[in-house]
Structure 1
């Protein structure tokens, strides 16, 4: 497994764009107000992070003009970036604290990791697609998200050498809850994941101080399947 470490310097990303920075900022503010804030996302920290994060820079140029619309978008390799509301809602439900160590399964474009990096102390993110792992690590590094480490690997295995984690989030759907990931959740921690084949639901797993778990569902979702690594 390959690992991309946190980079010591923040280098502004240089990507071709047809819009001015203030135009993107206006679209982003409208996204937060209309799609996120008016619904059920209440965390000030999550709303602040979504206002600060340039979603368009995590999206391929050919679909960048749709960056702040309320829908998922393709990022290549059969993967997508989730619609902004889902990112905001899941981040809110995860209830990340500033001292938390977070594991993300499914780095994708790196956008969710960028949001989490502003909420947590450390973010460890696993991506199974080599090209996406490289691209997301580069984007996060160039945009200055220093507390995110991206790893190429099998999300079903988690990241045992960095466990336990205070929070775990899955951005792809396994057919059933992954026990290996539940095992890597710290006592008092929370895991959130889309689960199911065909019909999917968002599932929250809470682990109490004694290590007992309680699971409940929130709402229906539609994520790409979580792909296991090759044996």
Structure 2
């Protein structure tokens, strides 16, 4: 499930002046598979994504984020919505502020019990998501949090990162400083608000800002 290369950009060398500027809104990175692995903790913790609200879980994953319907059925074995297991992706609607956790098959009896639409769903004892009969297909844009686990981190993570995720400035700063402190230099292109910068410059910036979140895009 590869991602297309980021298109070339005409950028202006900001020089020393950028070091005194504050991070504003958008950070774009071009990196390889090895560096992509550094996003694993962040994707497990959860990132915010833009979504059409009031649409089904299947619409969110397949229509809005391009997940193959067969992949959804065969690979994404467990789906949590606000802490409850989703059994029907076609009738479960997603509201603003929702927290969605996606996992491939989990081992043992616990994995079988929590499996979406599984035969042991009756044994969950209150852990199954109940349909909201008053849900409205609003088509409004809003934000939801997506968490990925086990094999899905590396398979679906690049899909989310290519489209863009909103992360806290603290998490973004932690990632950048980790990259700047390592000899690994697998990031070919770093762009901050339309300006091409180096990792060293980025790590030295003032990460405070007017909003808590910034938009992060990573393509390989």
TM-score, normalized by the shorter chain, greater than 0.5: no
TM-score, normalising length: structure 2: 0.23
TM-score, normalising length: structure 1: 0.22
The one of the two structures with greater contact order (alpha-carbon pairs below 8 A, sep at least 6) is 2
